[in-house]
Structure 1
Amino acid sequence: MTALTLSASSAASVRADAVVVGLTTGPKGPVVAAGGEAVDRAYDGKLAATLEILGASGGEGEATRLPAPAGFKAPLVLAVGLGDAPADGAAWPAEALRRAAGVASRALAGAKKAAFALPAGDAACVEAVALGALLGSYAFTASRGTGSKGGKEPLGEAVVLGGKPRDKEYKAAAERATVLAQEMNRTRDLVNTPPNELYPASFATLVQAAAKEHGLKVEVLDDKALAKGGYGGILGVGMGSQRPPRLVRVAYTHAKAKKTLALVGKGITYDSGGISLKPPGFNETMKSDMSGAAAVFATVVAAARLGLKVNVTGWLALAENMPSGSALRPGDVLRTYSGKTVEVLNTDAEGRLVLCDAITRAGEENPDAIVDVATLTGAMVMALGGQVFAIMGNDDGLRSQIHTIAEAAGEAAWPMPLPDNLRKGLDSPIADLKNIGERMGGGLVAGLYLREFVNDGTAWAHLDIAGPAFHEGAPYGYTPKGGTGSAVRTLVALAERAAAGSLL
């Protein structure tokens, strides 16, 4: 991954391949943003006018190159658009800084070193610039062969100017940005890994390796242990595959922790739909159906690396949903770990079947809150689009807190209801529940189904990240094509809130 350095040096004196400055929109044309004053002076105050001639307006997503002025150690200046400047001299929104830095990193792929002279007046801004730069430089290269022409190498090093390398607050900000970026990129790598390489057993092996590295406790239940324990939901989904399922428990504990979070992740390493086969055009990205489990895994590792004073337990419900002679059939009835029976009417509604077992098991440890994360329903993509995830739950306070935390972390999210009138549609004439209900409001129905497996008195939230977990379009900001690392920032911030004693 791209290296990160803080520097108090001037833009002119930094030896780099490029200096990055910010450009904002103004009533009379683009304006050089704070942090770029020294660069502007080197152009005799005409940097914005020169960039405007080159077509720049300061709008978000723009990247405009021009030769560096005389006396600079770097040969290139890259101006990136920040959009409208904050009113009344307020601090720049962190998300605007992250996106601009991400645009710059992507534009400078192949360069060895870039100096970021973006607005960085405090540690929070330094963290935002650093995180955006590190996320924007991401590239998945593991599947490329020798001699591949698949693209340029990522930016080698990002130097954030305006940082104070010896200041504890700034150093902590840089460390947090590095951990978040590395764990989000871990999630992206897992999501992007081809399903012939990432399957339940290999995923579990990766977790075991990371657990050893970061001092985590890990337990892996294989298919025999799942059968002995009565995990009928996970086993049912995995019946059609030659690669048997796993339930992985990975835990971080802190001696001074007063709160415990249980995070549950859907880990369908490939989802064909099973016997209820997906139509053509919907299978190609289904390696991403384990995004929730990847986000949970990365969050537990991040909590350990940051030394948070909270206990965080991750439950990864891993299975491959395939059609075969041994596959789960529409009409089958499964006995889940909770003891409740489920009539399966659609084998493509499999995520809730693995999650319900894991949620029940997580509840046995009496955590202060359970949060599950899943690419659960296409219905929620229809409702909220491709960049917003949904938040549901049985506790309005937890749901509201997660919404506030997600927005502050730069992840678009929206609280959704669990209407009781939709619950009746889950009633089965032969079992305790059906795995599908009414078609309209299907994302909410899925949440209602999961709620049935949460212990009374336990606060629970459900994040449906089906939209933002995998990006099929062109890269933008710090978001690449493919796996995005959705929900990791929110979950880490949630763990930090719990560590501070201000959760619920």
Structure 2
Amino acid sequence: MTALTLSTAAAPGLRADAIVIGVAKGDKAPVVAPGAEAVDKAYDGRLAGVLETLGASGAEGEVTKLPAPPGFKAPLVVAVGLGAAPGKGGAYDAEALRKAAGVAARTLAGTKKAAYALPVADAAAVGAIAEGALLGAYSFDAYKENGKNGKGNGKAPLAEVAVLGGKPRDKAHKAAAERATAVAEELNRARDLVNTPPNDLNPEAFAAVAQAAAKEHGIKVQVLDEKALAKGGYGGILGVGAGSASAPRLVKLSYTSSKAKKHLAFVGKGITYDSGGISLKPAGHNETMKCDMSGAAAVFAAVVAAARLGLDVNVTGWLALAENMPSGSATRPGDVLRMYSGKTVEVLNTDAEGRLVLADALWAASAEKPDAIVDVATLTGAMMLALGSRTFGVMANDDTFRSAVVEASAQVGEASWPMPLPEHLRKGMDSPVADIANMGERMGGGLVAGLFLREFVGEGITWAHLDIAGPAFNEGGPFGYTPKGGTGSAVRTLVRVAELAASGDLA
């Protein structure tokens, strides 16, 4: 795990493997960003020209390496692109700092210590740099030979990050660093869960991870096994898990604060492997389906992060865990399930299973009358077609709350987009034999799924649905602070929503 420190030391005298500086795009030439003054001075004020000669432009994601000047204890300077330079007197955007810090951390994998001399205008910048570095340093080597010692892929993660300009005795700077550490460590734990092969992470194993974390952080936990689910009438979760040798689970995590005035419920889809069930996925669509529990991983991480941060809000996390497999005992297209709410659902497609487990968990969450519910799920391929691989959709039964969630995601650097719930699409889910079918019109499939979930939210409860099917799993190359594989999408948005609720600023 990468260590984080704040340091007021001057860059030349700091013992490190590299000094990380920022370079931005100016009107005509690259511009050296604040924080790199000592390096620039050692180059007689000509660092920008040297970087330009080496091909640097300051573009986002760009990396330029050069030997450290004489007198520096670190042997290497790494200049990372920040994108467009802000106007006169302006500060660098927090997300630009996050991305640059993450790129540097990935570039410096295999080294022990990096000193980050990026622009630090305030505590928010300290937090952004720290968070980006800790997220960028992530790697998942547990299943490679020699595991985490780095020999599996030749390079161990960057071991230590020192944020220069971060004042360890400044309360705001210290708090920003502590927040960044808690959020990044829990988000990286969510990434680990998403990346874990499904033969090692079935519903029971996921529940055990949640129980261990809950014990460590003072969170109350309740796990409903298959017997308890049957006794309680959780027909959706049981129906989805019926075809698997690994029985389903419903995990409830409760973080409470004595100062809380609001109660939030987070609900996560936790399909630890999705074959499609009897409606089997075609070849080429199964290989990454271990990621179908990303919503539950995000909820789990957010609840633990809220506990670590001691937020003044009550947060209950619901992890709806099941494995969707075909077998003689599997739910069939045409079957009717009686859900926890009492409603019946005609299953027209067993690969539309996420909405079934979420429906039971949403109704269970509603029974506690929280102030708001947010569910998170890798729910529909339709959302990927609509928004691509880096943006998640946000639907809600309240436009103001939907806007608040979208704004919260923007504040932490997660891309989202508000999506509607058109009433005319509801009719497509009418069933001749049940209260509702789990499929409707093909066009607008992501919105249809949202409308289905809305049916299982308690009356009068504010609710939002995050469809993270696109950004939850990165099948391409790493970028910024985002690795290949599990990304931890929505964790930071959920934490921000909880923070806003705690401060009384959540609409």
Normalised TM-score (structure 2): 0.99
Which residue number in structure 2 is paired with residue 135 of structure 1? 135
Identity %: 72
In the TM superposition, 1:381-460 aligns within 5 A as 381-460=384-463
In the TM superposition, 1:41-56 aligns within 5 A as 41-56=41-56
Q: In the aligned structure 1, how far is the partner of 2:172 from the partner of 2:504?
A: 21
What secondary structure sits across from 1:460 in the alignment?
strand
**Amino acid aligned to 1:119:** P
Would the aligned equivalents of 2:25 and 2:59 in 1 still touch at CA under 8 Å?
Answer: yes
Q: In the aligned structure 2, how far is the partner of 1:24 from the partner of 1:92?
A: 10
**Amino acid aligned to 2:390:** Q
What secondary structure sits across from 2:464 in the alignment?
strand
Q: CA RMSD in A?
A: 0.8
Deviation at 1:88, TM superposition (A): 2.8
**Amino acid aligned to 1:495:** A
Which residue among 180, 191, 195 is the counterpart of 2:198?
195
Q: In the aligned structure 2, how far is the partner of 1:447 from the partner of 1:80?
A: 40
Tell me the alpha carbon deviations over residues 60-94 of structure 1, each in whole angstroms, 9 at most, x when there is no partner. 11111110000001000000001111123211110
What secondary structure sits across from 2:184 in the alignment?
helix
Q: In the aligned structure 2, how far is the partner of 1:263 from the partner of 1:23?
A: 40
**Amino acid aligned to 2:73:** K
In the TM superposition, 1:453-472 aligns within 5 A as 453-472=456-475
**Amino acid aligned to 1:229:** G
Q: In the aligned structure 1, how far is the partner of 2:472 from the partner of 2:489?
A: 5
Which residue number in structure 1 is paired with residue 93 of structure 2? 93
Q: In the aligned structure 2, how far is the partner of 1:141 from the partner of 1:333?
A: 43
**Amino acid aligned to 2:178:** E
Q: In the aligned structure 1, how far is the partner of 2:36 from the partner of 2:448?
A: 51
Per mean C-alpha deviation after superposition, the further-off stretch among 440-449 and 40-49 is: 40-49
Which residue among 484, 493, 498 is the counterpart of 1:495?
498
Per mean C-alpha deviation after superposition, the further-off stretch among 39-48 and 196-205 is: 39-48
Which residue among 350, 362, 367 is the counterpart of 1:359?
362
What secondary structure sits across from 1:12 in the alignment?
helix
Structure 1 segments of 4+ aligned residues over 6 angstroms from their partners:
none
Which residue number in structure 1 is paired with residue 254 of structure 2? 251
Q: In the aligned structure 1, how far is the partner of 2:88 from the partner of 2:422?
A: 43
Q: In the aligned structure 1, how far is the partner of 2:82 from the partner of 2:311?
A: 33
In the TM superposition, 1:238-277 aligns within 5 A as 238-277=241-280
Per mean C-alpha deviation after superposition, the further-off stretch among 1-10 and 143-152 is: 143-152
**Amino acid aligned to 2:136:** G
Deviation at 1:257, TM superposition (A): 0.4
Q: In the aligned structure 2, how far is the partner of 1:157 from the partner of 1:87?
A: 32
What secondary structure sits across from 1:486 in the alignment?
coil
Tell me the alpha carbon deviations over residues 19-56 of structure 1, each in whole angstroms, 9 at most, x when there is no partner. 00000111221111111111101111111111111111
Q: In the aligned structure 2, how far is the partner of 1:432 from the partner of 1:28?
A: 64
Q: In the aligned structure 2, how far is the partner of 1:133 from the partner of 1:121?
A: 17
Deviation at 1:380, TM superposition (A): 0.2
Q: In the aligned structure 2, how far is the partner of 1:496 from the partner of 1:82?
A: 28
Tell me the alpha carbon deviations over residues 110-160 of structure 1, each in whole angstroms, 9 at most, x when there is no partner. 010000000012110011011001100000111122385324100010000
What secondary structure sits across from 1:356 in the alignment?
helix
**Amino acid aligned to 2:142:** A
| 2:120 pairs with 1:120 | yes
Which residue among 314, 321, 326 is the counterpart of 1:323?
326
Which residue number in structure 2 is paired with residue 211 of structure 1? 214
Structure 1 gap segments, 5+ residues each: none
Q: In the aligned structure 2, how far is the partner of 1:185 from the partner of 1:82?
A: 24
**Amino acid aligned to 1:501:** G
Deviation at 1:458, TM superposition (A): 0.3
Tell me the alpha carbon deviations over residues 270-326 of structure 1, each in whole angstroms, 9 at most, x when there is no partner. 000001011111101100000000000011100100000000000000000001111
What secondary structure sits across from 1:9 in the alignment?
coil
| 2:9 pairs with 1:9 | yes
Q: In the aligned structure 2, how far is the partner of 1:299 from the partner of 1:28?
A: 43
Which residue number in structure 2 is paired with residue 294 of structure 1? 297
| 2:165 pairs with 1:162 | yes
What secondary structure sits across from 1:455 in the alignment?
coil
Q: In the aligned structure 2, how far is the partner of 1:75 from the partner of 1:201?
A: 49
Would the aligned equivalents of 2:146 and 2:152 in 1 still touch at CA under 8 Å?
Answer: no
Would the aligned equivalents of 2:276 and 2:351 in 1 still touch at CA under 8 Å?
Answer: yes
Q: Count how many residue pairs are aligned between Structure 1 and Structure 2.
A: 504
What secondary structure sits across from 2:100 in the alignment?
helix
What secondary structure sits across from 2:493 in the alignment?
helix
Q: In the aligned structure 2, how far is the partner of 1:203 from the partner of 1:450?
A: 24
Tell me the alpha carbon deviations over residues 452-492 of structure 1, each in whole angstroms, 9 at most, x when there is no partner. 01111100000000000000000000000000010011000
| 2:489 pairs with 1:482 | no
Would the aligned equivalents of 2:251 and 2:318 in 1 still touch at CA under 8 Å?
Answer: yes
Which residue among 340, 343, 366 is the counterpart of 1:337?
340
Would the aligned equivalents of 2:141 and 2:152 in 1 still touch at CA under 8 Å?
Answer: no
Q: In the aligned structure 1, how far is the partner of 2:81 from the partner of 2:376?
A: 33
Tell me the alpha carbon deviations over residues 207-233 of structure 1, each in whole angstroms, 9 at most, x when there is no partner. 110011000000000000000000000
Would the aligned equivalents of 2:23 and 2:33 in 1 still touch at CA under 8 Å?
Answer: yes
What secondary structure sits across from 2:253 in the alignment?
strand
What secondary structure sits across from 1:342 in the alignment?
strand
Structure 2 gap segments, 5+ residues each: none
What secondary structure sits across from 1:119 in the alignment?
coil
**Amino acid aligned to 1:129:** I
Q: In the aligned structure 2, how far is the partner of 1:263 from the partner of 1:445?
A: 21
Q: In the aligned structure 1, how far is the partner of 2:464 from the partner of 2:152?
A: 44
Q: In the aligned structure 2, how far is the partner of 1:43 from the partner of 1:11?
A: 14
Per mean C-alpha deviation after superposition, the further-off stretch among 421-430 and 79-88 is: 79-88
Tell me the alpha carbon deviations over residues 258-278 of structure 1, each in whole angstroms, 9 at most, x when there is no partner. 000000000000000001011
Which residue number in structure 1 is paired with residue 381 of structure 2? 378
Would the aligned equivalents of 2:195 and 2:486 in 1 still touch at CA under 8 Å?
Answer: yes
